[in-house]
C-alpha cells in the first residue's frame, strides 16, 4: 500500500520533508506524521484512514499483519508510528507489536473492541505505547503523535548524552535537550533524528551526526545466525567482532551486531530473571514478551550493558527494557559502539587490561581497551569511573591523545550506560564520579563525562551544572576524539580551567568552572555519539586537537572560579590526563581526580592532590554522582577527594568492586528511574 | 422541498440516535465527510454491511456445527462487534455483548437465541439507514449535487 495523501490535506511530499531537518514549521506539527494502520476489518480500516487523514497525517492502510511487516521492512524509515488491531486472522496483533518493536523500534498503538483489563495489560507488557478501545474516535487519534515525539525525545536524549550534540542549536543550549516540548526543538531534533535515520547507511561517521546506524532488520534467520555465533563463542566471550566474523553476513556491521548483542544479553537476563517460559532463546529473543526493543536502538546500551555485566537484576533490566522499549528508541546508536568498542562489560579481562589498556589505549586508538581491564563484574559505575580515569588520562595528556579518545569512549560508554540513570543506581556504588548524568540523562553514564554532564548541566548553574560540565568536558575531550573532533574544538572545555582547578582543590570551584566552560562547550555532548562510531582515527585526531585545545584554553581560562564543583568526572579527566603526563596511570583513581588533577596537571601539576582527588572520586566513591542531584556535586566532590588514595584507579576500582559496592552508596535517588518503578 | 427532505433526514437521525440505533460514532463519521468525500458515511455503511454479512455467516455456521467451537464463535463475534461499533450501530453492539457472555459460558442455547437478536437488529438498522440515506439524496435535490448532503 502506498501512502496515499489523497484526501487529506497533507502535503504530499511532506512526509519526510515535514519531519526533516527542522524545516517543519512548529505549528504544522504533527501534520505529516506517517502512520501505518493495520486492521483486518475493512470498515474499521477505512474509517481509521479517514480519521487519520483528517488529522493531517499521512496514512497507509493494510489489512494483513504480514503485509504491514513487509511494508515496514521495505521502508525502514518510512513510518513514524503504527496502529494495529489486536485480533487479526493471520497474525496476533501482539506478535506484530513485538516484531515491530524488535525490528523497527517504532511506537505501536494497539486497538481493539475488547476493553478487558487483561488485554490492555497484554498490550502494555508487549510494549505498546498506547491502547485504544474501538470504536476509535478521532480525538484519540489526534494525539498519537505524542508517542512519536516521546520516543524520539528519548532517543535523542540518549544520543545527546552520548555526546551527540552535533546540532548547533543544541550546543548553544545545552539544556535544550530537556526541553523537548517546544515544537521547534522537536523539529530540530526530529530532523536530526530523521537525518540520523536517513543517513544511517552512508554517514555513520558524520561529523555532527549522531549515532547513525543503519537499520538492520534482524530477521529470524539473521537472528538465528547470530545466536549460533554467540553460542559458539560462548555467551561471555561473544564479542561483536567475532560474532560478526562468524556470521559472515555481508553488509552487517560490528555496530549492528554489538547493538543486537546488547539486546540479546538483556533479553537473556530478563529471561533468567523474569520468566522461564521462554525456553527458546531464539524465539524469545525475537519476540520477547516484554518487547525487547529495537535492535538497533541505543536503548540497549545502558540497560543491556548493565544487564550484560550482570549488574542489573534481571527484573530491573526487564523493567528498564520495557521502559526503554516503550519509550526510547534512540539508544541504539550509542550502545552499540560502546559495547563494541569498549567491551565494557563483559568481554575482557578487566583488571589486567585496564591498566595496560589505558596505556595501550593511549597509544592505540582502540577505545575499548580502557574498559578491558574492567572486570565484568564491575559495577557500571565502576566502569564508568574507570573510564573516566582512563579518559582523564587521555584528556589530560595531550600527548595521550589516543588514550583520551579511548577513555572517553569508554567513559562515554560508561556514561552512557550510566546515564541510564537508574541503571547506575542499580549497579551500585559505581565509582562513577561523574555520573552526574543529569537526572535521567544518559549522559551520566557517559560519564565520560563531561560531555554528558556538560550537556545536561550546562543549563544549570548550580553545582550540578558544574558537575556536568566537568564531566562533559572530560568526556568531550575524551569522547570526542571519537566522533567529533570538531565538537571538541568547539567546546571550550573547561579543561582550560584545569590550571585553575588545580588551584581549586575544592571541588566546588572546579565544578563551576567547568560548568561555565562546559556551557560553552555544549558541543561535547555529541561526543556521545562518538561511542557509536568511534573511529580510532578520528579520535586520535580529535584528541590531539581537542586535547590540546582544551588544555590550552583552560590554561588561559583561569577557569577555576571556584564555582565549579569539581565534578569528579571532569576532574578526573583533567587530572587524569595530566597525570598521564606525569606518567601515572592512576587511571581509575585519576578519574575521580582527573578532574582535579587534570586541572592541576595542566596548571600546576599538583599531582598529589589530583591523585587524591581522583582516587577519592573514583575509588571510594561509588558513583558519587547522584543522578538526581547534581547540586550535590560539592558533596560528591568531597567524597571523591577524600577517599582517593594514591592507588591506581584500577586497583582501587577493582578493590572497590570486590570489596564493597562502594563505600558510600551514593544516594542516588533516581526518582524517575528507579528500576523498581519501572513497570515491565 | 429540499428543506423538507433535509429536515426529515435530520429528524430521522435524531430519532435513530434517541432510540439507540446509532451513537456518537455515527456522528463522528458524518463529521468526517467533506467535499472530497461527500458520501463517506453511506459508503462506510455499505462496506460494513457487505463485510458483516460474511461475518454473520461464519457465526451461523459455527453455531450449527457440532460440537460448537465457542472459541471460534467468540472470535467471529468479536470481529463483528468491532465492525459494528465502528459505524455506531449501538443496538447491534449490545446484542453482540450479550452473545459474547453466553459464548464465554459455552451456553449454546443462549448464543443461538442472542444471535437471532443480533441478526434482527442488524437488519433493522440497515433498513433505517437506507431510508436515511435516501432522504439525504432527496435533500440534495434532483440537481444531484453530490447527492449526499447530510443535514
Helix H, strand E, coil C: the string for A220-275 is: HHHHHHHHHHHHHHCCCCCCHHHHHHHHCCCCCCHHHHHHHHHHHHHHHHHHHHCC
Contact of A137 with chain B, judged by CB distance below 8 Å, is answered with yes
Give A-chain residues touching B81 at CB under 8 angstroms.
Answer: 113
Query: Does A40 sit within 8 Å of B87, measured CB to CB?
Result: no
Cβ contacts of A134 on chain B, cutoff 8 Å: 82, 85-86
- For chain B, the C-alpha Rg in angstroms (whole number) is 17
Residue in the structure block whose three cell numbers are 586520535: A540
Spatial strand order of the sheet with A34-38 comes to A58-62, A34-38, A81-85, A108-112, A130-133
Site from A48, A50, A63 to mutate, B interface, most B CB atoms within 10 angstroms: A50
Identify the helix (H) or strand (E) that includes residue A58: strand A58-62
For the ranges A3-17, A91-105, A216-230, which has the lowest average pLDDT? A3-17
Q: What CA–CA distance (Å, rounded) separates A451 from A444?
A: 9
Query: Contact at 8 Å (CB) between A159 and A528?
Result: yes
Q: How many CA atoms lie within 13 A of A563 on its CB side?
A: 15
CB contact under 8 Å between B44 and A43, yes or no, is: yes
Nearest to B25 among A41, A54, A135 (CB): A135
Q: Which of A41, A114, A135 lies at the smallest CB-CB distance from B51?
A: A41
Chain B residues with CB-CB distance to A136 below 8 A: 86
How close is the nearest chain B Cα to the Cα of A97, in Å?
A: 19
Cβ atoms of residues B81 and B55 within 8 Å: no
pLDDT at residue B142, as a whole number: 64
Question: CA-to-CA distance for B61 and A3, rounded, in angstroms?
Answer: 37
User: For the segment A593-642, what is each residue's pLDDT rounded down to a tens digit?
Assistant: 444 343 343 434 344 444 444 444 444 444 443 434 444 444 444 444 44
Query: In sequence order, which residues have a C-beta less than 8 Å from that of residue A426 and are 6 or more positions away?
Result: A306, A311, A312, A313, A316, A675
If one counts every other C-beta atom within 10 angstroms of the C-beta of residue A89, the result is 11
Query: What is the ipTM score, two decimals?
Result: 0.89
Give the chain B residue nearest A114 (alpha carbons): B78
Average pLDDT, rounded, for chain A = 54
CA distance A354 to A587: 9
C-alpha to C-alpha distance for A6 and A88, rounded to whole angstroms: 26
Contact residues, chain B, for A46 at CB < 8 Å: 43-44, 47
Q: Is the pLDDT of residue A245 over 70?
A: yes
Confidence (pLDDT) at A339: 39
Classified as helix, coil or strand, A662 is coil
> How confident is the model at residue A131, as a pLDDT?
92
Structure-model confidence comparison of residues A475 and A46, the more confident one: A46
The CA-to-CA distance between both ends of chain A, in Å, stands at: 34
Residues A94-131 pLDDT 10s:
988 888 888 888 899 999 988 888 889 988 898 899 99
Torsion over CA: A514, A520, A526, A531 (sign): negative
- Judged by CB atoms closer than 8 Å, whether chains meet at A41 and B88 is answered as no
Strand partners, A84: A38, A110
Q: Which of B25, B73, B82 to mutate to test the interface with A (most CBs of A within 10 A)?
A: B82
The answer to whether the Cβ–Cβ distance between B28 and A40 falls below 8 Å is no
Measured distance CA(B59)–CA(B102) in Å, rounded: 14
Nearest residue on chain A to B85, alpha-carbon basis? A135
Residues of chain B found within 8 Å of residue A47, distances taken between Cβ atoms: 29, 32, 44, 86-87
Check residue B66 and give left, alpha or beta (phi > 0: left; psi -120 to 50: alpha).
beta
A53-67, A168-182, B60-74, B80-94 — which is least confidently predicted?
Answer: A168-182
Are B79 and A51 a contacting pair at CB < 8 A? no
Please answer whether residues A547 and A397 qualify as being in contact, where contact means their C-beta atoms are separated by less than 8 angstroms: yes
A42 touches chain B (CB under 8 A): yes
Highest mean pLDDT of the ranges A493-497, A585-589, A599-603, B133-137: B133-137
The more confident residue out of A124 and A649 is A124
Is the Cβ of A26 closer than 8 Å to some Cβ of chain B? no
Return the residue in B24, B28, B78 with the most chain A beta carbons within 10 A, the one to mutate for interface testing.
B28
Mutate to test the interface with B, among A8, A37, A41 (most CBs of B within 10 A): A41
Q: What is the reported pLDDT for A180?
A: 40
B32 vs A51: CB contact, 8 Å cut-off? yes
- The neighbouring-strand residues paired with A4 are A59
CATH H-level superfamily of B2-31+39-139: HPT domain (1.20.120.160)
Q: Using an 8 Å Cβ cutoff, are A472 and A524 in contact?
A: yes
Question: How many residues are present in chain A?
Answer: 680
Supply the pLDDT for residue A84: 93
pLDDT of A560 reads: 39
DSSP, residue by residue, A163-205? IITTSHHHHH-GGGGG---SHHHHHHHHHHHHHHHHHTTT-TT
Mutate: best of B27, B83, B95, partner A, most A CBs <10 A: B83
Task: Map out the domains of chain A with their CATH numbers.
Answer: 34-159 (3.40.50.2300), 220-271 (1.10.10.60)
On whether the CB atoms of residues A572 and A594 are closer than 8 A, the answer is yes
The confidence band for B3, taking pLDDT boundaries of 50, 70 and 90, is: low
For residue A56, the distance in angstroms to the closest alpha carbon of chain B comes to 12
The residues on B that touch A, with CB distances below 8 Å, are 24-25, 28-29, 31-32, 34, 36-37, 40, 43-44, 47-48, 51-52, 75, 78-79, 81-83, 85-88
- B22: chain A residues, CB-CB within 8 Å: none
What would the pLDDT profile of A530-556 be if each residue is shown by its tens digit?
444 444 444 444 444 444 334 343 444
Phi, psi for A4 (deg, rounded to 5): -115, 125
Would you place residue A274 in the very low, low, confident or very high pLDDT band (cuts 50, 70, 90)?
low
Q: Is A13 exposed, middle or buried (0-12, 13-18, 19+ CB in 10 A)?
A: exposed
A564 DSSP 8-state letter: B
Which residues does chain B have within 8 Å of residue A50's beta carbon, measured at their own beta carbons? 32, 37, 40
Inter-chain CB proximity A47 and B86 less than 8 Å: yes
A267 near A288, Cβ under 8 Å? Answer: yes
CA–CA–CA angle A150, A152, A158 (5° rounding): 105
Task: Report the gap between the CA of B135 and the closest CA in chain A (Å).
Answer: 23
Strand A58-62 relative to strand A34-38: parallel, antiparallel, unpaired?
parallel
CB contact A142 to B (< 8 Å)? no
Q: Name the packing angle between helices A145-159 and A183-199 (round to 10°).
A: 70
**How many pairs of residues across A and B have Cβ atoms under 8 Å apart?**
63
| Residue A373: φ, ψ to 5° | -65, -15
CB A492 within 8 A of CB A473: no
Q: What is the pTM of this model?
A: 0.43
Contact assignment for B85 to A113 by CB distance below 8 Å: yes
Question: Distance from A150 to chain B by nearest Cα, in Å?
Answer: 28
Give the percent of chain B with pLDDT over 90: 72
pLDDT band at A515 (very low <50, low <70, confident <90, very high): very low
> How many Å lie between the alpha carbon of B1 and the closest alpha carbon of chain A?
32
Residues in chain A closer than 8 A to B76 (CB atoms):
none
Higher pLDDT residue, A29 or A359?
A29
Cell readout for A116 is 478487558
- Answer whether B32 sits within 8 Å of A54, measured CB to CB: yes
Per-residue pLDDT at A24: 44
Mean of the pLDDT values across residues A651-659? 50
The Cα–Cα gap between A609 and A152 comes to: 43
Chain B contact for A87, CB < 8 A?
Answer: yes
Cell numbers at A352, concatenated: 589486567
Q: Using alpha carbons, list the distances in angstroms from residue A149 to A19, A183, A346, A569.
A: 11, 10, 33, 31
The whole-number pLDDT of residue B143 equals 54
> How far from A499 is each of A459, A531, A568, A600, A640, CA to CA, in Å?
23, 28, 16, 5, 19
Beta-strand pair A108-112/A58-62? unpaired
Q: Which residue has the cell 585526531?
A: A541
Amino acid at each position: 500500500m502506498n501512502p496515499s495523501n489523497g484526501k487529506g490535506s497533507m502535503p504530499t511530499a511532506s512526509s519526510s520533508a515535514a519531519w526533516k531537518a527542522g524545516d517543519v514549521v512548529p505549528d504544522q506539527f504533527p501534520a505529516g506524521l506517517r502512520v501505518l494502520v493495520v486492521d483486518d476489518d475493512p470498515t474499521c480500516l477505512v474509517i481509521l484512514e479517514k480519521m487519520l487523514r483528517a488529522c493531517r497525517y499521512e496514512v497507509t492502510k493494510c489489512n494483513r499483519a504480514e503485509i504491514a511487516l513487509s511494508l515496514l521492512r521495505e521502508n525502514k524509515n518510512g513510518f513514524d508510528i503504527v496502529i494495529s488491531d489486536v485480533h487479526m486472522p493471520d497474525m496476533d496483533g501482539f506478535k506484530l507489536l513485538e516484531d515491530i518493536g524488535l525490528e523497527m523500534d517504532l511506537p505501536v498503538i494497539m486497538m481493539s473492541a475488547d476493553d478487558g483489563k487483561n488485554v490492555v495489560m497484554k498490550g502494555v507488557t508487549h510494549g505498546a505505547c498506547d491502547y485504544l478501545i474501538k470504536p476509535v474516535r478521532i480525538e484519540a487519534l489526534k494525539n498519537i503523535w505524542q508517542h512519536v515525539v516521546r520516543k524520539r525525545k528519548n532517543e535523542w536524549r540518549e544520543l545527546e548524552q552520548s555526546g551527540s550534540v552535533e546540532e548547533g542549536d543544541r550546543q548553544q543550549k545545552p539544556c535544550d535537550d530537556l526541553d523537548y516540548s517546544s515544537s521547534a526543538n522537536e523539529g530540530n531534533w526530529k530532523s536530526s533524528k530523521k537525518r540520523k535515520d536517513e543517513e544511517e547507511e552512508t554517514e555513520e561517521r558524520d561529523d555532527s551526526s549522531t549515532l547513525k546506524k543503519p537499520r538492520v532488520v534482524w530477521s529470524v534467520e539473521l537472528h538465528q545466525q547470530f545466536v549460533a555465533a554467540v553460542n559458539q563463542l560462548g555467551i561471555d566471550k561473544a564479542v561483536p567482532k567475532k560474532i560478526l566474523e562468524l556470521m559472515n553476513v555481508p553488509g552487517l556491521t560490528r555496530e549492528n551486531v554489538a547493538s543486537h548483542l546488547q539486546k540479546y544479553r538483556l533479553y537473556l537476563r530478563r529471561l533468567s530473571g523474569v520468566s522461564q517460559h521462554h525456553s527458546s532463546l531464539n524465539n524469545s529473543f525475537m519476540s520477547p514478551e516484554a518487547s525487547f526493543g529495537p535492535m538497533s536502538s541505543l536503548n540497549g546500551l545502558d540497560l543491556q550493558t548493565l544487564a550484560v555485566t550482570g549488574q542489573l537484576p534481571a527484573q530491573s533490566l526487564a523493567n528498564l527494557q520495557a521502559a526503554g522499549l516503550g519509550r526510547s528508541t534512540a539508544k541504539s546508536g550509542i550502545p552499540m559502539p560502546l559495547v563494541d568498542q569498549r567491551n565494557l562489560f563483559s568481554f575482557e579481562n578487566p583488571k589486567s587490561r585496564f591498566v595496560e589498556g589505558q596505556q595501550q589505549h593511549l597509544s592505540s586508538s582502540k577505545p575499548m581497551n580502557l574498559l578491558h581491564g574492567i572486570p565484568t563484574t564491575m559495577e557500571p559505575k565502576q566502569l564508568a569511573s574507570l573510564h573516566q580515569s582512563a579518559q582523564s588520562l587521555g584528556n589530560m595528556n595531550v600527548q595521550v591523545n589516543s588514550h583520551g579518545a579511548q577513555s572517553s569512549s569508554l567513559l562515554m560508554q560508561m556514561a552512557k550506560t550510566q546515564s541510564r540513570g537508574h541503571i547506575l543506581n542499580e549497579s551500585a556504588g559505581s565509582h562513577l564520579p561523574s555520573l552526574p548524568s543529569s537526572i535521567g540523562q544518559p549522559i551520566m553514564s557517559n560519564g565520560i563525562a563531561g560531555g554528558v554532564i556538560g550537556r545536561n548541566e550546562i543549563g544549570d548553574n548550580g553545582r550540578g551544572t558544574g558537575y556536568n560540565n566537568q564531566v562533559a568536558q572530560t568526556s568531550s575531550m575524551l569522547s570526542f576524539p571519537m566522533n567529533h573532533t570538531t565538537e571538541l574544538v568547539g567546546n571550550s572545555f573547561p579543561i582550560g580551567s584545569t590550571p585553575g582547578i588545580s588551584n581549586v582543590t575544592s571541588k566546588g570551584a572546579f565544578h563551576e568552572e567547568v560548568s561555565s566552560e562546559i556551557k560553552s562547550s555544549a558541543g561535547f555532548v555529541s561526543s556521545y555519539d562518538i561511542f557509536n562510531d568511534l573511529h580510532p582515527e578520528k579520535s586520535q585526531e580529535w584528541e590531539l586537537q581537542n586535547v590540546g585545545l582544551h588544555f590550552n584554553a583552560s590554561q588561559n581560562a583561569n577557569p577555576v572560579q571556584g564555582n565549579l564543583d569539581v565534578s569528579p568526572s571532569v576532574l578526573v579527566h583533567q587530572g587524569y590526563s595530566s597525570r598521564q603526563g606525569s606518567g601515572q596511570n592512576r587511571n581509575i583513581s585519576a578519574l575521580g581526580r582527573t578532574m582535579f588533577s587534570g586541572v592541576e596537571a595542566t596548571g600546576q601539576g599538583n599531582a598529589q592532590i589530583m591523585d587524591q582527588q581522583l582516587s577519592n572520586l573514583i575509588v571510594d566513591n561509588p558513583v558519587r554522582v547522584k543522578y538526581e542531584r547534581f547540586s550535590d556535586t560539592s558533596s560528591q566532590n568531597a567524597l571523591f577527594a577524600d577517599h582517593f588514595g594514591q592507588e591506581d584507579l584500577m586497583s582501587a576500582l577493582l578493590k572497590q568492586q570486590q570489596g564493597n559496592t562502594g563505600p558510600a552508596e551514593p544516594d542516588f535517588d533516581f526518582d524517575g528511574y528507579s528500576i523498581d518503578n519501572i513497570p515491565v | 422541498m429540499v428543506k423538507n427532505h433535509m429536515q426529515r433526514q435530520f429528524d430521522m437521525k435524531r430519532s435513530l440516535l434517541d432510540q439507540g440505533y446509532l451513537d456518537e460514532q455515527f456522528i463522528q463519521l458524518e463529521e468526517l465527510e467533506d467535499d472530497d468525500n461527500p458520501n463517506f458515511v453511506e459508503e462506510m455503511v455499505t462496506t460494513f454491511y457487505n463485510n458483516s454479512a460474511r461475518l454473520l455467516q461464519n457465526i451461523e455456521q459455527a453455531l450449527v456445527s457440532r460440537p460448537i467451537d465457542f472459541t471460534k464463535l467468540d472470535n467471529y463475534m468479536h470481529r463483528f462487534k468491532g465492525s459494528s461499533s465502528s459505524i455506531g450501530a449501538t443496538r447491534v453492539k449490545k446484542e453482540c455483548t450479550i452473545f459474547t457472555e453466553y459464548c464465554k459460558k459455552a451456553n449454546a442455547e443462549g448464543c443461538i437465541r442472542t444471535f437471532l437478536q443480533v441478526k434482527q437488529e442488524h437488519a433493522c438498522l440497515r433498513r433505517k439507514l437506507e431510508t436515511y440515506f435516501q432522504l439525504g439524496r432527496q435533500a440534495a435535490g434532483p440537481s444531484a449535487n453530490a447527492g449526499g448532503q447530510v443535514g
